[in-house]
Every structure is written in C-alpha cells, then in structure tokens.
C-alpha cells in the first residue's frame, strides 16, 4: 500500500511542476524499498542466474530456428516446457500462421577477372526468389542508394545491381548506422525489378569487415511476379573486393546461384507464460523477445538472449517473493524476422479479449552489457520512467530516453500503453547480426545476466508505479 500512496503523490507532483522542479523532486521517488528490491534482483540474477544455461540449450541443442522450420517448432516446445517447469501460474501456446521461406542449397557466387576466379561469400536474403536453376551471370552496376538505382533506370536492364553503401562508422549507436543502410536490403530488389535486372546483391549490414554474409528480410511489395528478381547479401570483404575490381574491370561478370523458395504459410505459435497479478489480474505487463531466428547461426544474440532474459524476469520475481500487482507475462513471439506475425497476432488477441496492457518491454538488441532503456509513453509515464534514472545508474543503465522500443510490441501501441525497449551496448551487435557468427560463444554470461536483472528491475518498477 505504501507504494501506491507514494505513486499517487509522485504523479500529482509530476503533473504540477515544470521540468526543472521535477528534477529536484525525483530523488525521493527512489525510495529505499525500491533500491533494495532492485539490488536483490541483481544479486540473485548474478549469483544464481539461469538465462545462460537456457541459452546454451536453445542455441546449441536446437540452433537456428527460422519461422516454419522444425527447429522453430522445437523452440516452441522447449519454451512451453521450460515455463511449465518453472511453475508459472499459466503457460500456453497462441496459434499463429507464419511465412515459410527456406534457403535450399548453399548459395554459390564468384566473379572472374583476368582469368582469376574470385569465389565470394553470399547468402540469399529472406523472402527472395531463387535464381534460375543454373544461376545468373551478368555485368555488375554498383550503386550507393535506392535513388541512384532508380535514376539509372533502363541502364540497369540485364545487369546485376550491387548496393554497396556501407555503415557510417562514426555513429556511436550502431543501430543508427543500420537504420541508415537497411533500405538497400529491404527494397533493393523491389525498386529495380521493373528495369529487368538479373538480380540484386547487397553489402552485408555490418560495421565489421568480415567474410560472412549477413542475411535479413527483403520484400517485393506488390510488384508483378515477373519483376521479382533474386536478392542476396554479400560479405563486406567480398563487397570491398568486388568494388575494387569493378573500378579496374567495369565489365567483369558476376555469377550467383541460390535455390531458396517460399512455401505455403505454416502453423506456429507464440509461447506465453504468466504470473497472475495480485491486485489487477486483468491488467497486463509483458516482457518478451522473439523465439524465431535466422538460419545461418544459432540466433544466440538475435534473439535467444531476449527470450531467456524474459523468462528469467519471471523466475527472478518468484525467487525473490515478489507478488506483482499486475499480471506479468513473458511472451516469446514467433516470426519477428520475416513477418512479425507473432507480434501482430498477440496484439490482435489482446484486443479481441479486451485485455488492458499497461506496459510491454522487449529485449531484441542482443545480450550485451546494459546501457539503458528506450521508451514510448505518455508524458506522465515518461516522467515516471525518467525519475528512476538515479536508481538504475549504478547498474550501468544511463541511457533512459525516448526512442525505438521493439518490433514485436509495436502492434500493442495505444494512447495509454508504456512501451519500453531494453538497450544493451550496441558495439558488437552487428558483428554477428543475421550471420553464421551469431552463436552462443559470442555471449558473455555476466552481460546476459545483467541484462535480465535490468529488465526484471524495470518490470518491478512499472508494476509498482503504473496505475
């Protein structure tokens, strides 16, 4: 009850002071009980955390789990059983139909200059069509943007378009560099298909200069079937080499072959576990990540980390005897990578069932050391979250700002909900993102556990103060 009154006082105070005055009254908000609970969540999360061993199993015993695959189904069963074994109050599967794209045989690509053949590392982009059975071969036109490609228009006919705009390494947040490049991957084929190109190859979305192609979703929008051309990612090492060789030999021929295809939609599930609220059982706060991953690595950072952290949040609540006021749900979303069907289905069902979602937290930026949280909330709740800064700072959580929260929770957006994204350090994320290098050995145990404890602390505070 004490927390309830404090929250009321705070909310009144926050709504009637200007920002400067608010800053002065924020410290009393962080009361001693909160400070102790947060410390206990971190202590137990670091002394007896389970997320790392769960992630080991998910990554190494199940592995990459693209929507519609056998591994995705195994991950569903694993998540359901794990949460049942943890004795959550309720655990269930929420059916959802998902796209079912398969990569097929390993892709092949090379180009030849002065009789020297350069094999290059590529992979089909998710959602792409295959090349003809014997592959495609053609001259290459290198461009740096969708606009540049469109401007070339008919000059692209019969060519392979090579999108090669690199990450801007000067951006401290690597997600911003990603955001500045990923249109090439998403829409490169869509905007050039109408010019009769043979195919599209896209520089991998990474800061790293490595020999791993990084896959990811692409789309054709509503263009005619006959304009859909194959699209592949090329490693940054190969992209640099190709670009260099093109300067010397603009008419060199590039060959690639891929046999991917889109099968009919497949049945799958979101996996949901909950601790029923003690005061508001019909009001919900969710914490989640996505259970599907790309197929090249084992999806440890993207997003196995978010999955095990979300389940760990509920385990830490039980372990510490925290009886939440609201119902707290761990939601393992299916199909974030190539469809977002799970996120949409969850929001749709929430609406159908008249569930009141107070807040949703997503972890989908890797299992790295904590930096903070991004949020999207009403003015009142924004101030509330900001008031926790001094409480969270000792745990490395300094970046508490408005910003992007999470793809899966996006469909829950309403005028009242508080959406939050867990924001770990971003420096290494795109080294592994969507590549064969996204594997369990890239995850540090303490970093993963600190993330889970950070998320548990935020869910505790949201549960305690949201009204």
Catalytic residues: 336
Nearer to a copy of itself, 34 or 80 (CB): 34
Please report, as residue ranges, which positions from 172 to 191 form the binding site for a copy of itself (by CB under 8 A). Answer: 172-176, 178-180, 182-183, 185-187, 190
In whole angstroms, the minimum distance from the beta carbon of 428 to a copy of itself comes to: 5
Sole binder of a copy of itself in the list 6, 25, 30, 129 (CB under 8 A): 6
Orientation angle between helical segments 445-465 and 2-16, nearest 10 degrees: 80
317 binds a copy of itself (CB under 8 A): no
Nearer to a copy of itself, 139 or 227 (CB): 227
Please report, as residue ranges, which positions from 374 to 433 form the binding site for a copy of itself (by CB under 8 A). Answer: 374, 393-396, 398-399, 401-404, 407, 425, 427-428, 431
444 binds a copy of itself (CB under 8 A): yes
Nearer to a copy of itself, 319 or 356 (CB): 319
Would strands 160-163 and 136-143 be described as parallel, antiparallel, or unpaired?
A: parallel
Q: Residue 29: what are its φ and ψ, rounded to 5°?
A: -60, -40
Q: Using an 8 Å Cβ cutoff, are 67 and 339 in contact?
A: yes
Q: What whole-number distance in Å separates Cα of residue 109 and Cα of residue 434? A: 19
Edge-first strand listing for the sheet containing 356-362: 90-102, 261-275, 326-333, 280-290, 356-362, 418-424, 370-376, 399-402
21 binds a copy of itself (CB under 8 A): no
Q: Interacting stretch for a copy of itself, rule CB under 8 A, among 15-23, 75-83, 97-105, 286-294?
A: 15-23
In order, the DSSP letters of 120-134 are --EEEPBTPPPPPTT
Sole binder of a copy of itself in the list 196, 219, 281, 411 (CB under 8 A): 219
Question: Which CB contacts under 8 angstroms, 24+ apart, belong to 346-355?
Answer: 346/94, 346/270, 346/272, 346/408, 346/411, 346/412, 347/411, 347/412, 348/411, 349/94, 350/284, 350/412, 355/282, 355/284
Site string for a copy of itself, 330-369 (x = CB under 8 A): ---------xx----------------------------x
Nearer to a copy of itself, 244 or 441 (CB): 441
In whole angstroms, the minimum distance from the beta carbon of 117 to a copy of itself comes to: 28
Q: Using an 8 Å Cβ cutoff, are 79 and 307 in contact?
A: yes
Cα–Cα–Cα angle for 220, 251, 120, rounded to 5 degrees:
60
In whole angstroms, the minimum distance from the beta carbon of 99 to a copy of itself comes to: 11
Extended beta strands in 405-466, E state: 418-424
Edge-first strand listing for the sheet containing 160-163: 116-119, 108-113, 253-257, 136-143, 160-163, 199-203, 231-234, 122-124
> 373: which strand partners?
400, 422
203 binds a copy of itself (CB under 8 A): no
Distances (CA, A) of 36 to 92, 206, 363: 33, 40, 24
Nearer to a copy of itself, 49 or 273 (CB): 49
Extended beta strands in 368-433, E state: 370-376, 399-402, 418-424
Nearer to a copy of itself, 138 or 219 (CB): 219
Sole binder of a copy of itself in the list 161, 217, 359, 456 (CB under 8 A): 217
Nearer to a copy of itself, 139 or 173 (CB): 173
Total chain residues near a copy of itself (CB under 8 A): 69
List interacting residues with a copy of itself (CB under 8 A).
1-4, 6-11, 13-19, 42-43, 46-47, 169-170, 172-176, 178-180, 182-183, 185-187, 190, 207-208, 216-219, 221, 339-340, 369, 371, 374, 393-396, 398-399, 401-404, 407, 425, 427-428, 431, 444-447, 450
């Amino acid at each position: 009850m004490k927390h309830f009154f404090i929250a009321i006082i705070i909310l009144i105070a926050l709504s009637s002071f200007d920002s400067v005055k608010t800053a002065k009254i924020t410290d009393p908000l962080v009361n001693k009980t909160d400070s102790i609970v947060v410390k206990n969540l971190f202590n137990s999360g670091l002394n007896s955390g389970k997320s790392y061993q769960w992630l080991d199993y998910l990554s190494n015993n199940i592995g990459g789990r693209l929507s519609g695959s056998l591994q995705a189904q195994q991950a569903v069963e694993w998540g359901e059983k794990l949460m049942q074994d943890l004795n959550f109050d309720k655990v269930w599967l929420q059916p959802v139909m998902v796209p079912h794209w398969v990569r097929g045989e390993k892709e092949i690509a090379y180009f030849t200059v002065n009789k020297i053949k350069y094999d290059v590392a590529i992979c089909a982009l998710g959602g792409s069509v295959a090349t003809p059975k014997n592959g495609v071969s053609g001259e290459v036109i290198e461009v740096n943007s969708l606009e540049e490609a469109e401007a070339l228009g008919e000059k692209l006919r019969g060519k392979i378009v090579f999108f090669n705009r690199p990450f801007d390494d000067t951006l401290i947040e690597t997600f911003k560099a990603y955001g500045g490049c990923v249109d090439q991957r998403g829409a490169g084929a869509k905007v050039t298909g109408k010019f009769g190109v043979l195919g599209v190859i896209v520089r991998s979305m990474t800061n790293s200069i490595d020999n791993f192609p990084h896959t990811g979703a692409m789309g054709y929008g509503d263009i005619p079937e006959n304009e859909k051309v194959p699209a592949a990612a090329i490693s940054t090492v190969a992209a640099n080499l190709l670009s260099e060789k093109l300067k010397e030999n603009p008419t060199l021929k590039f060959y690639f072959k891929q046999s991917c295809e889109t099968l009919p939609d497949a049945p799958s599930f979101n996996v949901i576990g909950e601790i029923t609220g003690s005061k508001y059982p019909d009001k919900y706060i969710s914490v989640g990540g996505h259970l599907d991953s790309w197929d090249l690595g084992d999806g440890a950072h993207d997003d196995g980390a978010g999955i095990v952290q979300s389940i760990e949040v509920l385990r830490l609540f039980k372990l510490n005897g925290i009886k939440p006021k609201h119902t707290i749900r761990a939601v393992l979303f299916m199909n974030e990578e190539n469809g977002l069907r799970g996120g949409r289905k969850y929001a749709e069902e929430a609406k159908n069932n008249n569930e009141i979602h107070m807040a949703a937290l997503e972890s989908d930026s890797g299992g790295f050391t904590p930096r903070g949280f991004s949020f999207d909330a009403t003015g009142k709740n924004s101030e509330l979250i900001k008031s926790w800064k001094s409480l969270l700072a000792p745990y490395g959580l300094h970046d508490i700002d408005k910003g992007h929260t999470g793809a899966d929770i996006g469909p829950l957006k309403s005028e009242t909900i508080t959406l939050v994204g867990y924001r770990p350090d971003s420096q290494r994320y795109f080294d592994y993102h969507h590549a064969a290098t996204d594997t369990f050995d890239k995850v540090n145990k303490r970093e993963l556990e600190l993330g889970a404890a950070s998320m548990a602390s935020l869910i505790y505070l949201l549960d305690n103060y949201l009204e």
